[in-house]
Structure 1
């Protein structure tokens, strides 16, 4: 799940279960350095957290393409996930999350050689947090139209609180690509590539549920070694 806004994890150790949600808009939707929507994207999510630390949720975003039909200039991404989060102590926590990435009106892609791959992809995310620093690794579970099983995305993010409810947000991400499963749909030229780095600032408006953000995304490369562009991303999010 990718979003331009940084949000502090809900504490799963509360005595009761909770339901939360969010709706927002970003000027661009950038995912691991690549452009998912070069126009303003509407995004929304809903999450249920059980007091045990288990949570299930949904997040979605508009796209400026359809991965199953290159003639369409619009689409929609649906992310469904289940996770377990545990607070070890005041400073340390960890989480494990399984996510399915489903695309509306898109089933499979076929290469000119006739090979087919599903568009829906699945991964498992592991993260470890110490205060405002989070280290994470996401591993793809099955071949899909844009990924190989075994691709592993590594990231680190740090949030630095500033006065007046501002936060300085930073992150970096890179992928170790598995070329052993290449075919005519997915090819790999880089075994490892830096994908993106972000630096930004966000402002939470107390008692309103609103957060505004600005991120500057420095692009790296994809699995073929093609360069990603840099982007400036503005966002406005309402949480409830």
Structure 2
């Protein structure tokens, strides 16, 4: 069993660097005749892999993706963030990858995301880092996706981060509603037992489409022994409801 006390640097990294990867992975959507697509969202809380990135406050987000006919894609995405006094105010992520349909049911997406943060006070430190992401999606009665991500210099701290996630969604037909669920496991290793953190996250959600807009209500949580320890020091790991309205163009 790992010690319950985590080093301060690692705990800070955990709350800082759980950002936008889900949006980078959206590049696997069907190719449009127009190569550029954009997303805009307003949410009551920017939650990534179970952890709030805005200290349980609202966020405004936008992204732009270019998709080439042969499967390559690249883009950028941004959001306001709140990691505490002196921390950055904005997150800007840049991603590039390759997406292909293996057959009528299976899709493969390989990419890398560069997470960057702006607006920190002097002395806060550089927490930008890269994450390498592989995602496999099966489309049938359910849409199921498995994600594996790895960072060799998590939050520019020298720690290694691994994330494994599974998500599923079910379209309720002509009603415009869909149901979703996710679960994931995050492991961050800064060297030695005292510099390690492992926790799980999960969510359930219901969405309703309105033309190009989608409204989503979701419940998010983290769990596991390290999550319980992290909750004692911060509310960003605690469960909560999040309401999001997003618009995709085109």
Corresponding position: 1:90 with 2:104: yes
Q: Identify the residue that residue 226 of structure 1 maps to in structure 2.
A: 230
Paired with 1:95 and 1:181, the residues of 2 have a C-alpha distance of 33
Paired with 1:32 and 1:108, the residues of 2 have a C-alpha distance of 28
Q: Identify the residue that residue 3 of structure 2 maps to in structure 1.
A: none
Q: Identify the residue that residue 14 of structure 2 maps to in structure 1.
A: none
TM-score (norm 2): 0.77
Paired with 2:22 and 2:110, the residues of 1 have a C-alpha distance of 18
Shift of 1:225: 4.0
Q: 1:9 aligns with which of 7, 11, 28?
A: 28
TM-score (norm 1): 0.80
RMSD: 2.7
Paired with 1:35 and 1:8, the residues of 2 have a C-alpha distance of 23
Shift of 1:19: 0.6
Paired with 2:27 and 2:210, the residues of 1 have a C-alpha distance of 15
Shift of 1:35: 1.6
Higher mean displacement: 26-35 or 122-131:
26-35
Please state whether the residue corresponding to 1:226 is helix, strand or coil.
helix
Aligned residues: 218
Where in structure 1 do 4 or more consecutive aligned residues deviate above 6 Å?
A: none
Q: 1:149 to 1:224 in 2, by over 3 A?
A: farther
Matched-pair contact (CA < 8 Å) for 1:56–1:81 = yes
Q: Identify the residue that residue 127 of structure 1 maps to in structure 2.
A: 135
Paired with 1:181 and 1:118, the residues of 2 have a C-alpha distance of 23
Q: Which has the higher helix share?
A: 2
Q: 1:56 to 1:181 in 2, by over 3 A?
A: farther
Corresponding position: 1:45 with 2:63: yes
Offset from partner CA, 1:18-68 (integer Å, 9 cap, x none):
1100111000011222221121100110000000100001111111346xx
Paired with 2:113 and 2:122, the residues of 1 have a C-alpha distance of 19
Shift of 1:8: 8.5
Shift of 1:231: 1.1
Q: Identify the residue that residue 156 of structure 1 maps to in structure 2.
A: 166
Corresponding position: 1:180 with 2:188: no
